[in-house]
Amino acid sequence: MSAQSHFSTQKRVPLKGSTRKAFDVSRAGALVSPAKEGESITVSVLLPRKTPIDPTVRLTREQFAEKHCADPGSEKVVRAFAAEFGLSVEGPAERGSRTLHLTGSQEAMEKAFGVTLQSHATAAGVLRLREGQITLPEEVAPCVEAVLGLDNRPQAKPHCRAAKPHAGNVSYTPVQVAQFYGFPANAKATGQTIGVLELGGGYRTADITAYFKSLGLSAPKVSAVLVDKAKNSPGNPNGADGEVMLDIEVSAAVAPGANVVVYFAPNTDQGFIDAISTAVHDSTNKPSVLSISWGGPESTWTAQAVTALDQACQAAASLGVTITVASGDDGSTDGVTGGGNNVDFPASSPHVLACGGTKLVASGTTITSETAWNELSANEGATGGGVSTLFALPTWQANSKVPAPTTSTGGRGVPDVAGDADPATGYTVRVDGQTSTIGGTSAVAPLWAGLIALANAASKQDVGFVNPTLYADPKAFHDITSGNNGAFSAGPGWDACTGLGSPNGTAIIAALAPSTSASGGKSGGKSGGKHSGKGR
C-alpha cells in the first residue's frame, strides 16, 4: 500500500454524534449548486485530550496545557490523514487547545469526510449544508472527537429584545440596576478582564466613549479578538449590534475598571465553539469571566457540537474562568413550535451559570416588586427555563427540587440565577449613535459577569466555577416567588423560571470570597471542590 493511499483504502466508520438533520426546506430556497467550485473551506477538528479534564481541579494555564493538551498520537494521525487528502493544517493556536484547522477545496472535504455538500439560497444568505453522518477511515476515527464547519447554517440567536413603546414602561441604566441589587458602592474591578462572545454585529468606540460619559464613568478599554475570520462590523442598530453594545455596556458599567475583550466569531457551531475555546485559552488577555448571550434549543445542536462546547466549558472551570449564559427569551418552549418544553444550550451546560430573567420595578433605589419575566401574551418574550434533556442533574442541584426530566439522560435544571430582563423594565443603552431600551436574558449574563469580576477583584483571585457555592448559600439571593414562564411557575427556593433568584450583590461577593483555613492560609474559595486556588 502506498503512503498516498494509506487512509483512502480503509473501511469508513461514522463519527459519533455527527448526524446532521436536513435543513428545514421551508426555509431553504432553490439549490444553487452541488458545490461552489474554487471555494476554500476550513473545518475545526477536535482531537482527544492527552488526559480527560476534571473540572473540579483548578490548574494554571501551564499546568492545564501540560496535562490536557491534544493527544500527540492522535494529532500525528490526523495530520497524516489531512496530507493524504490534500488538506493543509494549522494549530492548535494555544497549547492548551486541542483544535486543528484543516483547509482545502470542497471536493477534498467531501472525499476526506465522506459527505455531500450543497449550497442553498436561504433567508440567511447562501449556506453550505450537509445532512447525515460524517465518516472517517477506521484508523482516524478514534483520533477525532468532532469535525465542525462543513455545514455553516446559523446555530444560535441573540437573547436580547428591544422595548416596544407602551405606557408604563420604564428603563434603568446598568448603574441603577447594580444599585437595586446591592452591588457594593464604589466597588472596582480594576485588573479584571471580562470576555464577551458575539456571533455577529459590532461596536464603535465613539459610542462606548459617549455612553460612559453619560453615566459619569471612565470608558473601559474594549478590544476585539477575531475568530475564524469574523469581523467587528457594526451597521444595524436593530440587529446584532444591539446585542454587542448591551453586553459591553452592562458588564463594564457594573464593574468599573474592568477591561472588555469581545470575541467575534461566525454564527455557526464551529464559530461558537472556536470562540469559547479561544477565550478560555487566551493567554494574552486572560479573561476571568466570559459572558454569552447567544444560544438555541438543545434539539437544534448535533451531539458532537454539544459535547465539544460543554468540554470547552469544563476547560474554563478548570482554568478558573466563570461562564455566564443567557437562558433564552421564549419561555418554557424556547420558541420550538409544537415541541413541548425545551431549554436553551449552552445555558443548559452544567459547567456554566445559566441566567434567567425578571420584571423589576423600583422606587428610588429600592425594588418594589420583582416577578418572573413573562410577556408572552403580548408576543414580547419570557424567561427561558426548564429541565435539560441532555445533561443529568448536577450534585449541587440535588436538593433544589428540579422537576423530573422527560428523558433518561436529562435532569439539569435551568436557569441557576436571574436578573432584570423584561424590556418593559429594560436597560438604557447606546447603539449606533442612538439611545434605546433593550432587555432579554442577554442583559442578565453580562450583569452577572460584571458581578463576578467585582468578586474576583475583591478576592484578588478568580472565583472560577461558582455554581456549587451559590447553591449552598441561597440567602445571598432575592427569592422570586411569583410569575411563570409558561409551563413552570416561580416559587420559594429554586425554580425553573428564575433559578435561585436575583442577586444581593454584597452577599454574593462575600459568599464567593476564599475561605480562611484554621492555619491562616486561604483555600481556593468555596466554589472549587478540589481547586488548588493557584492562579492562571
Strand partners, 219: none
**pTM across the whole model:** 0.94
**Burial (0-12, 13-18, 19+ Cβ within 10 Å), 532:** middle
pLDDT of residue 225: 98
The answer to whether 134 and 147 have CB atoms below 8 angstroms apart is: yes
Which helix (H) or strand (E) segment holds residue 454: the answer is helix 444-459
Q: Please state the domain extents for the chain.
A: 3-148, 157-512
pLDDT of residue 122: 80
Strand partners, 296: 345
The helix/strand/coil state of 353 is strand
Residue from 67, 391, 449, 91 nearest 249 by CA: 449
pLDDT of residue 137: 98
List the grid coordinates of 518.
484554621
Within 8 A by CB and 6+ apart from 175, the residues are: 215, 217, 253, 254
Strand partners, 198: 264
C-beta atoms surrounding 257 within 10 Å: 18
What secondary structure letter does DSSP report for 516? B
Distance in angstroms (rounded) separating the CA atoms of residues 374 and 328: 12
Amino acid at residue number 485: N
Q: 228-258: per-residue pLDDT in tens?
A: 999 999 998 777 999 999 999 999 999 999 9
The answer to whether 45 and 100 have CB atoms below 8 angstroms apart is: yes
pLDDT of residue 514: 87
CA atoms 201, 203, 207, 208: torsion sign: positive
Distance in angstroms (rounded) separating the CA atoms of residues 292 and 322: 11
Strand partners, 126: 121
Catalytic residue numbers?
Answer: 243, 247, 442
**CA distances from residue 350 to 65, 260, 369 in whole angstroms, order as listed:** 23, 25, 30
Residue from 380, 372, 281 nearest 321 by CA: 281
Q: Which fold has domain 157-512?
A: Rossmann fold (3.40.50)
Within 8 A by CB and 6+ apart from 144, the residues are: 15, 45, 46, 47, 74, 78, 136
- The segments of the chain whose pLDDT lies below 70 read 1-4, 25-38, 516-536
Q: 88-129: per-residue pLDDT in tens?
A: 999 998 889 999 999 999 999 999 999 999 888 887 788 899
The answer to whether 133 and 151 have CB atoms below 8 angstroms apart is: no
pLDDT of residue 526: 42
Which helix (H) or strand (E) segment holds residue 277: the answer is helix 269-280
